Amino acid sequence: MRIYNTLSRRKEVFVPQDPDEVKIYSCGPTVYSFAHIGNMRTYVFMDSLRRVLRHEGYKLKHVMNVTDVGHLTSDADDGEDKMEKAARKAQKSPYEIAAFYAAAFFKDLERLNIDRPEIIAKATDHIDGMIDYVVQLCEKGYGYETSDGIYFDIAKFPGYGKLSRARLDEQLAGGSERVAVNDEKHNPADFALWKKAPKEHIMQWPSPWGMGYPGWHIECSEMSREYLGDLLDIHTGGVDHIPIHHENEIAQSEALIGKKTVNYWMHGEFLLVDGGKMSKSLGNTYTVDTLIERGYSPLAFRYFCLNGHYRNKLNFTWEGLNGAQISLTRLYDTLLAHKNAPDAEITDTVPGEGRYSGMNVLDAWKKEFGYAITDDLNIPLALSVVWKALRYKTLNRKIYEFVVSCDDILGLDLEAGTEKAAEKREQERIEEQKAQNSDIPEEILALSDERMKAKKEKRYADADALRAEIARLGFKVTDTKDGPVITKELE
């Protein structure tokens, strides 16, 4: 399996430390409001990674954090604590706010068939560990105290900027807007490990530096180490985390542990809406609920996401989502047709000169699907293989079985979706027949009612005679679970 490593800017062969179990850490949500569909795209990517690794036979030890403290309104240590701001506005405690939005987040994961990581770690459950981490960084000379907190001294960490390949001299010049201005900092890009809390700050804990709360970045360094040890196989997040959050995580973790702490960094590209950023002022920070309110199924959004490679930007539009919903319905319908078809041997081979030429087509589809998913999670290519199989010249039960097996990776409820498609078909057939019954003469309907009565009273001979009489008059009765349906016998 090959995956793209943001650190090396290359696709690399994936080799976990332990051949059986992969250690993954994913930056999770800050639970101060509903997650938007952009956030959810990043978790669909995380889920594809999980599914592919499991398909490759690995067990997973996967940690995702839930940030319920310390993420300021700007990533660069500026502004208010997001949790506190939301709590004040809603006149609730930050803990109530966090519990409410965390529950909503996990419900969204479920609705999108996103597997829940094995370990969910809440920042507020790990404050002691974070304090200890900051103490150790200070002892090693990486942290220093100012009047409002403890800061990481990036000049002491020569590797600073290696993930984003930002130049340290640029960081030090502080020309960028993404660093908080603070005269006491040694360098403008130094970031907070711990913040001293003003009295009105609701969430605060005792520390060697008085009452305070942790910086946002320290939570991921501490919790990933606590659950997964000094070296992770894979660390994931959205691309916005590359220049600040993950750069800072690397600085903290490598400073403390003294060596590399992540083997593969993977980042999901952004979801745009109508070609631009989502923003509250534009009213386009859509959530999974918004999609449902507008009549779309969450899985149509999942399908929409799977159609774009995780390292490419994806532009969300309502027309695009509508197209995804139509395609998904067509996928279920076509799959149903293959399900009901004969289970015949497929003997065709792939023509031409390509990689799979000469191979049995069914084997080739399987190979191509496997190749796609292990080539840096090329799910769009894998989906196109599924469509290639579905569009095969004849309907075949073997195609149904192949495509359903792909659902381990796709997570589109293919079996259940197909069953629903079948129920819908049956319903349509009954409706059609009911509509036909409305043209049936009264006399025939009366005979049919009499036949039903006879059947109910177990007078089967009478019932058969009545059926024969109806047939003699040119009509046919079919018993369905919704009652008898009468059709005119064609000549």
Task: Give the footprint of ligand AMP on this chain (CB under 6 A).
Answer: 27, 29-30, 38-39, 41-42, 237-238, 240-241, 268, 270-271, 278
**Tokens for 432?**
């059609």
What is the C-alpha to C-alpha distance for residues 269 and 310, in angstroms, rounded to an integer? 6
| Residue 220 contacts which entry, Zn ion, ligand AMP, none (Cβ below 5-8 A, type-dependent) | Zn ion
| Residue 29 contacts which entry, Zn ion, ligand AMP, none (Cβ below 5-8 A, type-dependent) | ligand AMP
From 27, 63, 189, 412, residue interacting with Zn ion (rule: CB under 5 A): 27
**Tokens for 153?**
């001294």
What is the C-alpha to C-alpha distance for residues 256 and 272, in angstroms, rounded to an integer? 37
Binding mask 190-219 for Zn ion (x = CB under 5 A): ------------------------------
Residue 46 sits in the site that holds Zn ion (CB under 5 A): no
Residue 251 sits in the site that holds Zn ion (CB under 5 A): no
Neighbours of 177 (CB within 10 A): 10
Q: Please, how many CA atoms are within 13 Å of residue 192, restricted to the half-sphere of its CB?
A: 28
Cβ proximity to ligand AMP: between 16 and 237 the closer is 237
Residue 220 sits in the site that holds Zn ion (CB under 5 A): yes
Per DSSP, which regions of 10-106 are E strands? 10-13, 21-26, 59-66
Cβ proximity to ligand AMP: between 270 and 475 the closer is 270
Cβ proximity to Zn ion: between 27 and 364 the closer is 27
Residue 1 sits in the site that holds Zn ion (CB under 5 A): no
Which pairing describes strands 212-214 and 232-238: parallel, antiparallel, or unpaired? unpaired
CA 130 to mean position of chain CA atoms: 29
Q: How far is the CB of 197 from ligand AMP (least distance, A)?
A: 22
Cβ proximity to ligand AMP: between 108 and 368 the closer is 108
Residue 64 sits in the site that holds Zn ion (CB under 5 A): no
Cβ proximity to ligand AMP: between 38 and 161 the closer is 38
Query: Under a CB-based contact definition with an 8 Å cutoff, are residues 487 and 436 in contact?
Result: yes
SS3 content of the chain, % helix, strand, coil (to 5): 50, 20, 35
Give the torsion sign (CA, 125, 205, 86, 151): negative
Cβ proximity to ligand AMP: between 270 and 332 the closer is 270
Q: What is the dihedral of CA 136, 207, 100, 33, to 10 degrees?
A: -70
Q: How far is the CB of 240 from ligand AMP (least distance, A)?
A: 5
Q: How far is the CB of 313 from ligand AMP (least distance, A)?
A: 9
The size of the interface with Zn ion (CB under 5 A), counted in residues, is 2
Amino acid letter, 276: G
| Residue 444 contacts which entry, ligand AMP, Zn ion, none (Cβ below 5-8 A, type-dependent) | none
Residue 31 sits in the site that holds Zn ion (CB under 5 A): no
What is the C-alpha to C-alpha distance for residues 413 and 216, in angstroms, rounded to an integer? 36
Residue numbers of the site for Zn ion (CB under 5 A)? 27, 220
